[in-house]
A and B are shown apart, each in its own frame.
Chain A
Amino acid sequence: MCLAVPAKITRLEKPNLGLVDYAGTEVRTNFSLLPQARVGDWVIVHAGFAISLMDKKEARKTLRLFREMAKAA
């Protein structure tokens, strides 16, 4: 039930509705829980609602860590 997916915002409309691109499909999404979201942001979507903003800097940090581990191994 807590399955949620990362998706990119492609359009925002009022009030608090918009579209996200999830693996090539545009999905209608409610942004009431994330009023600060902007087009182009990546968000976590659960049950039709964006619940969290993806932090690009933190994502890059994690990726870097894994690339280094892959090299070191």
Chain B
Amino acid sequence: MKQLELRELTALLRECAGEEDGVDLEGDVLDIPFTDLGYDSLAMLQTTGRIERDYEIALDEAIDSAGTPRAYLDVVNQALSAREAA
């Protein structure tokens, strides 16, 4: 069953919104707020739209309050599981 991994998420963030100077996305960033990683709400909107299209899922408002990569991956992977089960 497809689940989104952290490395895939950081790759998508890079593609959709670039990379902030001085931030190491390869490090342990699971619990670092997106804003600290240099990604504002528009960067996240862009990334979310990309994931919805690429994986053919719809992500509800819960994604907007997912402030860290861990929380974000939880919401995405729940939606991926639900789609698999359907």
Query: Do A and B share a complex?
Result: no
A-side residues, CB < 8 A to B, are none
Interface positions of B (Cβ within 8 A of A): none
